[in-house]
A and B are shown apart, each in its own frame.
Chain A
Amino acid sequence: MNWLKTELTHELKLLSLFFPAQIIVQVYQSVHHAWWAILFYLICAIWRFAMLTGSVKPIGKFAKNACFITGLLLVVFTGVSTNILVSLFVMLAVAQSLKILEFETQRDVVSLFIIHLFLTASTLLFYFDLMHSLALALSLFLTVAAVIQCKIKIFSPAASLKMASQLALVSLPIALVLFFMMPQLPPLWKMAKPKSPPTGLTETVKPGDLADLAGSNKLAFRVEFEGAIPDTTNLYWRTLVHESFDGESWAISEQSQAWKKAIPHKQLANQLIDTNQNSFLYTVIAEPSHQKWLHALDIAYPLADKVYLTPDYNLVRTEPVSARMQYKIKSYMHLPVEPYVDFSTAQNLQLPADENEQARALAQKLRQQYPDDAENNELLINALLRRFNQDEYHYTLKPPRVSQYNGIDDFLFESKSGFCAHYASAFTFVVRAAGIPARVVSGYLGGEWNPQGEYLSLYQYDAHAWSEVYLQNKGWVRFDPTAFVAPDRVEMSVQDLFKEKEDFLPDNNFALVKYQELPFVSDVRFWLANVDYQWTRWIINYNQSAQENLLKRLFGQKTDWTFYLYLISFLCASIGLFVLIIWLIQRYKKQPTDVVKYYHKALKALSTQGIDKPIGATPEQLVHEIEHKAPELLPIWHKIIQLLNDIQYRNLPIKTKRKLISQLRVEVKKMQ
């Protein structure tokens, strides 16, 4: 452990700054691309550390080549097993590891800095929470400190960090001004999209699936309303419509899939505006789901580009949502009486040929009670819902497993306990069996109000499934069988509903949301959520229109060229102000303090006596010469030395120091 006692060598200082910085980016690369990247990095870094401390011989040419070839093979292997983009990122990670093993010159340090910039950029493509951005900022900060350390060898790591923080303080405002003011360009060319598995709701719903989602406290989307907010009982956020049932799961019909591909459907959206007046205006900020479906209240009229309404009232986008995106929606709460589309009758009456005989029998029985008639249809549905309400049905997050066949029968007549998807599925099945068109809709229900940010958050555990039935003269009407089993679910969130039980988020003991009752926890959670929300709103989803709004707010509504004139003059003015501030600070720093001024006056007085201070000489060293050439000044000089030492080196209160400085002035005057 010799190295602890001696001062750190230049390379060790660099390593102490590089290591924590690079660990951060390497962890991200490992988590997202290839788990072994961090292992490879650790081996290289520890090896280098051992070499620097002298416990291992310097690396030979052979070992160096071996490392290089290993890294290369790993990259090629990743390239073969995944795609080119991933192997590119992994190559950067490996290059960083190899460089840390052998960095020597300033050039190596610069290449490490450049690799780090690229790795940070590649990580930011996938991780955009504020927390991740802060971690990456920290790692970039440490790397900048390492670059400083490399150039100014006499610095300690602490001094390098200090200078790096100065740089950060100066650079960040410039970066933010650039970010908010620079025009946002549209993509210049198409790039390979980073691919990720879809999250959240799936296109095919098995009744058990939604219960799994209820175990996730990941954010799904957030909503900010402009103006009125609908009742909590109306917060049904639709995402997907499932019209095709195969006996086990509900899938999107082929017709809808075709709609998804053949967009846009402007016509339907325009029709909405004509017929409805009662509307809500809001902005949805969706987390990446890597799917094309978006979330909105019934019935949404999209006010955003590249977002379209399908004939079954779903919102769909041309590209999967691969990053946080926001879109503005106007929702009309009352369903219009729509022209019934012929093909959907068949689709929404579709049932598998056999199985679930008991359920079919139930439907027949109900049909007999209420013969086919527009009014009777509603009565039939109400009778069915009453059954859910009055029989021994339970709402639970942990439904018993049902058999693959006859799943609906098992649920309706045996277990009688399930999650929303079970009820929606069974309800739709029976209604269809009774000859009424019906479909399952999945989406989210309710939302958590963040009082600090004044927005609504919907988490994956808010996922919900309900049914829609086509009633003549009324069109598609929403029925939520869950509401009849557990009426609370509609008014409360799953979080509140299962608060008392262990069921809620069973695998996630660290989720703050579980400890909501503690007031402090609740505040902190809302605060953190709000910070992340503002971050998303202002940074991640800042776009051309947001920029226009901001500029309008800053400069007022202007025609194009005057606006740019204002913008340019504003930028020039802010740059000028910045330069002026720096100049003033430097000037202030440069101004000799009074002490130095008086000392120089004293020296000037001495030089009239023929005593010149040699460079680097201390006041004490002049005593001898003064004794020879001007002995009468000697006592004053001694006094001055005493005062200088007191002022500069003794830790005195400011008042005393001021007194001493004025004494110094008097003494110096005596010399002239």
Chain B
Amino acid sequence: MTHSRWLSKWLDKRLPPQRQCKLDHSNIFILPSKAGVAVILVTLAIYLLGTNYANNLVLLLAYVSTAILISAIFYSFLNVAHLTIQVEKTPPVFLSNVCLQTFRIINERPSWAIEFLHHDGKVQFDLPYVDTHLIKMPFVPPHRGWCLPERIRVQTQAPFMLFTVWSLPHFNIKQLVYPKPIECPQWLTGTGLSQEEGQSNDIQNAEDFYGLREYVETDSLKHVAWKQLAKGKGWLTKQFAAPNQPERWFSYYIVHDNDHELTISHLTWLVLQTKNEDITFGLELPHASLGPNAGPIFIEECLLALAEMP
């Protein structure tokens, strides 16, 4: 729902964001629907007909029609008044997926043909019994991160289609939206870290140092134990605990490909891939680096960090 700035200011005052909204006279709006306007005009025409022909029965018909219009205001109002609407917490979704926002509706009397309108869609339902009902409404999040759902429009023209009764409740619940995952299989095995690779490797290596063995020609010169050689102990090669399985790192800087959002999407996909294999990994982002770690909680942490990326 798009409103002018003045109107939305007024609405914010009248219907501030809340966890739960009870519809009553203070937040329900009523205006004649198109059909209602048509019937009002027809009633006027019938009134003129009755007056000009001085025919009391035609006048009575005009008054009956007026009375129906008046009672319809009450009926339409009572159809939505006293509905209590709460928004339920919805699990995070990925961008460009449809989020099913759940509303808990408590009615105190039967309500008919209630519509929930949103710029992405519309749900219509009847509440014939007094109870608590759960209504799911599709909602396509506009961006990743914390989304504030816009005002929804709770509307009905029941039971006579003569008046539109609506309210615009605002719910102060934030919806977490993860970035959209985009495949990038080339980085599946990890990207390594972006900066001070050697040093950090050394530190890592030093920690994982395991032992020395005879130098073989195929060994990398990097791993020659130069200190030992200088001491005249001959060519030896440093041995590490897991020389071919370095920890998996997904680095923003390495995945980065001129497109900020695409990079985040790639990283999201990479993080998601670890889920099935329970792999330990670390995530390097411009402002923080997470892990290395493993497990669903860590994955959620990573996804949250990705979602919250500026």
Asked if A and B bind, the verdict is yes
Residue numbers of A with Cβ under 8 A of B are 106-107, 109-110, 113-114, 117-118, 120-121, 124-125, 128, 133, 140, 144, 147-148, 150-154, 163, 167, 170-172, 174-176, 178-179, 182, 184-191, 193-194, 323, 539-543, 582, 586, 589-590, 615-616
Closest to B110 in A: A152
Contact B126 A152 (CB under 8 A): yes
Q: Chain B's nearest CB lies how many Å from the CB of A163?
A: 6
Instruction: Give a binary string over B69-95; 1 marks a CB under 8 Å from any A CB, 0 the rest.
Output: 011101100100010000000000000
5 A-B pairs closest in CB distance: A174-B67, A171-B67, A175-B67, A110-B35, A178-B63
Contact A174 B65 (CB under 8 A): no
Q: Which residues of chain A have C-beta atoms less than 8 A from B113's C-beta?
A: 151-153
Instruction: Give a binary string over B135-168; 1 marks a CB under 8 Å from any A CB, 0 the rest.
Output: 0000000000000000000000111110000000
Q: Which residues of chain A have C-beta atoms less than 8 A from B59's C-beta?
A: 179, 184
Contact A117 B42 (CB under 8 A): yes
Chain B interface size band reads 35 or more
Given A191-B53, A590-B108, decide whether A615 and B46 contact each other with a Cβ distance below 8 A.
no
Contact B61 A114 (CB under 8 A): no
12 A-B pairs whose Cβ atoms sit less than 8 Å apart in the complex: A113-B39, A121-B46, A125-B49, A151-B158, A152-B113, A153-B113, A174-B66, A179-B59, A182-B63, A186-B51, A191-B52, A590-B82
Given A147-B160, A616-B132, decide whether A188 and B48 contact each other with a Cβ distance below 8 A.
yes
Q: Which residues of chain A have C-beta atoms less than 8 A from B60's C-beta?
A: 175, 179, 539
Contact B42 A148 (CB under 8 A): no
Contact B64 A151 (CB under 8 A): no
The residue among B63, B132, B157 with the most chain A CB atoms within 10 A of its own CB is B63
Contact A114 B38 (CB under 8 A): yes
Q: Is B118 an interface residue (CB 8 A)?
A: no
Closest to A189 in B: B52
Q: Which residues of chain A have C-beta atoms less than 8 A from B109's C-beta?
A: 586, 589-590
Given A121-B49, A151-B113, A154-B126, decide whether A133 and B67 contact each other with a Cβ distance below 8 A.
no
How far apart are the CA atoms of A193 and B52 in the complex, in Å? 10
Question: Which B275-305 residues have C-beta < 8 A from chain A?
Answer: none
Q: Chain B's nearest CB lies how many Å from the CB of A582?
A: 6
How far apart are the CA atoms of A268 and B55 in the complex, in Å? 32
Contact B112 A539 (CB under 8 A): no
* Selected contact of B158 from candidates A152, A182, A185, CB within 8 Å: A152
Closest to A586 in B: B78
How far apart are the CA atoms of A458 and B238 in the complex, in Å? 132
Contact B157 A151 (CB under 8 A): yes
Residue numbers of B with Cβ under 8 A of A are 35, 38-39, 42-43, 45-46, 48-68, 70-72, 74-75, 78, 82, 104, 108-109, 112-113, 126, 128, 131-132, 134, 157-161
How far apart are the CA atoms of A106 and B157 in the complex, in Å? 11
How far apart are the CA atoms of A154 and B160 in the complex, in Å? 15
Contact A114 B58 (CB under 8 A): no
Given A113-B39, A178-B67, decide whether A144 and B160 contact each other with a Cβ distance below 8 A.
yes
Q: Chain A's nearest CB lies how many Å from the CB of B149?
A: 21
Contact B54 A323 (CB under 8 A): yes
* Selected contact of B55 from candidates A124, A148, A151, A185, CB within 8 Å: A124
Contact B66 A163 (CB under 8 A): no
How far apart are the CA atoms of A111 and B155 in the complex, in Å? 22
Q: Which residues of chain B have C-beta atoms less than 8 A from A615's C-beta?
A: 104, 132, 134
Contact A179 B63 (CB under 8 A): yes
Contact A152 B112 (CB under 8 A): yes
Q: Which residues of chain B have C-beta atoms less than 8 A from A113's C-beta?
A: 35, 39
Q: Chain A's nearest CB lies how many Å from the CB of B91?
A: 18
Contact B57 A124 (CB under 8 A): yes
Closest to A539 in B: B56
Given A114-B38, A114-B42, A582-B74, decide whether A151 and B160 contact each other with a Cβ distance below 8 A.
yes
Q: Chain A's nearest CB lies how many Å from the CB of B143?
A: 32
How far apart are the CA atoms of A178 and B66 in the complex, in Å? 9
Q: Which residues of chain A have C-beta atoms less than 8 A from B68's C-beta?
A: 144, 167, 171
Q: Chain B's nearest CB lies how many Å from the CB of A151?
A: 5
* Selected contact of A171 from candidates B64, B78, B108, CB within 8 Å: B64
Q: Chain B's nearest CB lies how many Å from the CB of A352?
A: 44
* Selected contact of B42 from candidates A118, A133, A590, CB within 8 Å: A118
Closest to A166 in B: B75
Given A110-B38, A118-B42, A188-B52, decide whether A163 and B58 contact each other with a Cβ distance below 8 A.
no
Contact B58 A125 (CB under 8 A): yes
How far apart are the CA atoms of A106 and B72 in the complex, in Å? 17
* Selected contact of A150 from candidates B46, B65, B128, B161, CB within 8 Å: B161
How far apart are the CA atoms of A125 and B42 in the complex, in Å? 16
How far apart are the CA atoms of A632 and B109 in the complex, in Å? 36
Q: Which residues of chain B have C-beta atoms less than 8 A from A589's C-beta?
A: 109
* Selected contact of A151 from candidates B46, B67, B112, CB within 8 Å: B112
Q: Which residues of chain B have C-beta atoms less than 8 A from A118's C-beta?
A: 42, 45-46
How far apart are the CA atoms of A109 and B58 in the complex, in Å? 23
Contact B53 A120 (CB under 8 A): no
Q: Which residues of chain A have C-beta atoms less than 8 A from B126's C-beta?
A: 152, 154
The residue among B45, B132, B157, B161 with the most chain A CB atoms within 10 A of its own CB is B161
Q: Which residues of chain B have C-beta atoms less than 8 A from A193's C-beta?
A: 53
Q: Which residues of chain A have C-beta atoms less than 8 A from B57's C-beta?
A: 124, 128, 133, 539-540
Q: Which residues of chain B have C-beta atoms less than 8 A from A178's C-beta?
A: 63, 66-67
Closest to B35 in A: A110
* Selected contact of B61 from candidates A124, A187, A540, CB within 8 Å: A124
Q: Chain A's nearest CB lies how many Å from the CB of B103?
A: 12
How far apart are the CA atoms of A120 and B58 in the complex, in Å? 8
Contact B58 A117 (CB under 8 A): no
Q: Which residues of chain B have C-beta atoms less than 8 A from A172's C-beta?
A: 64, 67
The residue among A109, A114, A150, A188 with the most chain B CB atoms within 10 A of its own CB is A114
How far apart are the CA atoms of A106 and B164 in the complex, in Å? 14
How far apart are the CA atoms of A171 and B64 in the complex, in Å? 7
Contact A323 B55 (CB under 8 A): yes
How far apart are the CA atoms of A190 and B75 in the complex, in Å? 38
Q: Which residues of chain B have C-beta atoms less than 8 A from A148's C-beta?
A: 159-160
Closest to A160 in B: B159
* Selected contact of B71 from candidates A124, A174, A540, CB within 8 Å: A174
How far apart are the CA atoms of A124 and B61 in the complex, in Å? 9
Q: Which residues of chain B have C-beta atoms less than 8 A from A175's C-beta?
A: 60, 63-64, 66-67
The residue among B49, B51, B55 with the most chain A CB atoms within 10 A of its own CB is B55
How far apart are the CA atoms of A106 and B35 in the complex, in Å? 9
How far apart are the CA atoms of A120 and B64 in the complex, in Å? 12
Q: Chain B's nearest CB lies how many Å from the CB of A550?
A: 14
Closest to A111 in B: B38
Q: Chain A's nearest CB lies how many Å from the CB of B90?
A: 16
Contact B53 A187 (CB under 8 A): yes
Q: Which residues of chain A have C-beta atoms less than 8 A from B62's C-beta?
A: 121
How far apart are the CA atoms of A190 and B52 in the complex, in Å? 7
Given A125-B55, A188-B51, A189-B52, decide whether A117 and B161 contact each other with a Cβ distance below 8 A.
no
Closest to B157 in A: A151
Contact A154 B128 (CB under 8 A): yes
Q: Chain A's nearest CB lies how many Å from the CB of B113?
A: 5
* Selected contact of A121 from candidates B61, B71, B112, CB within 8 Å: B61
How far apart are the CA atoms of A171 and B70 in the complex, in Å? 8
Contact B52 A163 (CB under 8 A): no
Q: Which residues of chain B have C-beta atoms less than 8 A from A140's C-beta?
A: 61, 64
Q: Which residues of chain B have C-beta atoms less than 8 A from A147's C-beta?
A: 160-161
How far apart are the CA atoms of A124 and B131 in the complex, in Å? 46
Contact B58 A106 (CB under 8 A): no
Q: Which residues of chain B have C-beta atoms less than 8 A from A188's C-beta?
A: 48, 51-52
How far apart are the CA atoms of A184 and B159 in the complex, in Å? 32
Q: Chain A's nearest CB lies how many Å from the CB of B44?
A: 11
The residue among A144, A174, A175, A178 with the most chain B CB atoms within 10 A of its own CB is A175
* Selected contact of B52 from candidates A187, A540, A541, A586, CB within 8 Å: A187
How far apart are the CA atoms of A191 and B42 in the complex, in Å? 18
Q: Chain B's nearest CB lies how many Å from the CB of A384?
A: 48
Given A120-B61, A171-B64, decide whether A152 and B159 contact each other with a Cβ distance below 8 A.
yes
The residue among A128, A150, A179, A184 with the most chain B CB atoms within 10 A of its own CB is A179
